[in-house]
Structure 1
C-alpha cells in the first residue's frame, strides 16, 4: 500500500531546521513534540493500513459483494450535457448551481419501471423517477443566468456503473437555444449493500463520496471529509482482485489549543496499479462502497 500524495515537510524536520538556525530554550521541547506527533501519524497510518486489509478480506465473497455485482450503482455522471457542451461560462455556472427555469408542461404519464442494460446482455428492472422528480433533481430555480427547459421526453443514456457501462432510461430535457437535449438518468439506483464489517469509530476523516473515475480506470477522484482541526496527510490504497480500499490518515492542525470546528471536504485523486474495472471502491472507515452522488435515492 503506497501513499499517492506528496507529503509536506514534516513537523520534525521543521523543528530541526528552526533549532539549527538559532538555538532557543524551547528547541528541545519543540523537537520532542514534533517527534511525538510524527510517531502518532505513523502509528495511525499503520493502523489504517491494517484496517484496509480487514475491510478487503470481509468484502470478498460477502453478501454485500454479491449485491454490489448484481445491482445498479452509478460510478460516473448521471447527467449528460447537450452535444458540444454549454455555450458560455454563465450557462455552465447556471448548470453547476441548478439554475433552471421551466417553460413547458412536463409529461404527467410515464412508465413506473425501466430496464438498465449492460453490454453482456444482462439487464435489471429498476423503478423510474418521473419527469417532474427528475427535473427537481437538477433545478434550483434561483435568480440569475439560467437555462430554460422547453420540453421533456423519455429516452436513454450511457452511465458508468459498478458492473461496467450500461444503457439507462433517462429524461431528455430540451433546452432553449440548443439542438440536442440535456440527459438525466431516470433509473433509481439500487440500495447500497450493508457493509460486511462494523464501522470504525473514534477516527476522524473518511472518504465522503466518489467524484470520478478516469477513462482508463487507473485514477479515482474522491472527496475526503475533514474537520477544521485536521489536514490530509495522504491517501493510501489497498488493492485486491475484488476491491480497492481507500484510507485517509489525517494530521492535526491544532495550534495553542484552538482550531476551526467547521467540517469541510478536500478533493484528491488516487492513482491505482491497474484499472478499477468491476472492483468495488471502498472507504476503509465505513466499509461502504463509494458511488457517484445522485439526488435520485433508492
Structure 2
C-alpha cells in the first residue's frame, strides 16, 4: 500500500518540480524559480509553529513521529477484485462486527538501529477508525471480518521502525490490511493547512533525507534540473535552513543557467547538503509545502 502511494506522490512531485524548475525562469529564486523569498520563510516559520503545537499536544515528547501513509497491505488483490484497490486507497474499510482489544496495555516500537520505545496500545476498532477516509466515487467499502495483533514496518522521522500493529482480515479476499496499534497520545501528529489550489504553497519538496553521524550535515534529495547552471537549462542549488528547538525546514534556493529559457519539463534527482546550527538529534525535518515530517536516514 505504501509503495502505491509513494509512486503516486513521486509522479506528482516530478511533474510539479519539473514544471517549476525546468521551464523558463526569472533568474535566481528561493525555492522554485519565481518563489517569493519572504513568503517561503513565512511558510517555514508557520510549519515550525504547527509542529511545536503538535509536540506540546503529545506531552512535549517527539521520540515517535510516524511519516507517510500508515495503512499497509499484505498480499495482492485477486482477479475480479481490482476495485478493492481504490477502496483501500480511499480508506473505505469498515468493521463487520466487534473487534478485539489489545491483549496487553503496552507494546514496543523498535527502530532498525536498535533503539526502542514502550508505547500504549489501542484496540483494533480504534486503529481502524484512524484510517483517513476520502471519496472514491462510490467504490464498495471493504468489510473487516477479524483482527489480530502483530507487527508492521513503518517510516518515522528517525528512520524505519517495527511497531505493534493490527492485521485485519477482509471479506471475500485473502488480502489483509495493517494499521499501527499505537495510541495517538504516544505519537506526534501534524495537521497540515488546507490545500488551496488557487494559492498553492511554494518551494521545492524534499523526497528523502539523511544526516551524518555528528547530526550536523543534512543531505536532502529532491527533483530539479538535470545539469548544473553552467549548461543550458541547468541549475545549481543552495539551501537556507530555518530551525526551532523541535524541527528544521530546508528551503532550496534555485540558481538557473539563464532567465526565460525554453526547456523540457522533465525533472531529475538532485541532492543538496546543508549545515545545521545544532545537531538534528530527535528534531524532525519538515516539508516546506505542507509542514509534514520527512523520514531521515541517520548514520
TM-score, length of structure 2 as denominator length? 0.50
* 1:149 matched residue in structure 2: 144
- Show CA shifts across 1:8-60 (max 9, x none): 557x9xxxxxxxxxxxxxxxxxxxxxxxxx9xx989634357679999xxxxx
- 1:207: Cα distance to partner? 7.5
Q: Which of the residues 151, 156, 159 maps onto 2:154?
A: 159
Matched, 1:47 2:42: no
Is 2:65 the partner of 1:73?
yes
Are the counterparts in 2 of residues 246 and 281 from structure 1 also a CA contact under 8 Å? Answer: no
Q: Tell me whether 1:113 sits opposite 2:106 in the alignment.
A: yes
Mapped to 2, the partners of 1:239 and 1:141 lie a distance apart of 34
- Residues 238-249 of structure 1 mapped to structure 2, 5 A cutoff: 238=240, 243-246=248-251
RMSD: 5.4
After superposition, give the CA deviation of every residue in 1:49-101 in whole Å (9 maximum; x if it has no partner).
7679999xxxxxxxx8xx99951111233111122357544111111223334
Counterpart in 1 of 2:271? Answer: 272
Distance, in Å, in 2 between the alignment partners of 1:193 and 1:109 is 22
Specify the alignment match of 1:290 in structure 2. Answer: 293
The match for 2:221 is 218
Alignment-derived partner of residue 117 in structure 2: 124
Report the equivalent of 2:171. 176
Q: How far has the Cα of 1:284 moved from its partner?
A: 5.2
Residues 269, 51 of structure 1: alpha-carbon distance in 2 compared, 3 angstrom cutoff: farther
Task: Identify if the C-alpha distance between structure 1 residues 178 and 166 changes in structure 2 by more than 3 Å, giving closer, same or farther.
Answer: same
Contact 1:116 / 1:168 at 8 angstroms: preserved in 2?
A: yes
Q: In structure 2, what is the equivalent of residue 197 of structure 1?
A: none
Q: Which of structures 1 and 2 has the larger relative contact order (alpha carbons within 8 angstroms, sep 6+)?
A: 2
Q: For the Cα contact (< 8 Å) 1:152–1:174, is it kept in 2?
A: yes
Structure 1 stretches of 5 or more lacking a match?
Answer: 13-37, 56-63, 195-203, 221-234, 250-267, 293-298
Q: For this pair of structures, how many residues does the alignment match?
A: 212
Question: Mean alpha-carbon deviation: is it higher for 139-148 or for 89-98?
Answer: 139-148
Partner of 2:128: 135
Conserved in 1, the CA contact under 8 Å of 2:62 and 2:187?
no
Equivalent positions of 1:14-29 (< 5 A) are: none
CA gap of 1:104–1:122, structure 2 versus 1, over 3 A, is same
Contact 1:48 1:247 in 2 (8 A): no
**Greater gyration radius:** 1
Q: 8 Å contact 2:35–2:202 — kept in the other structure?
A: no
User: For 1:193 and 1:184, how far apart are their aligned partners in 2?
Assistant: 15
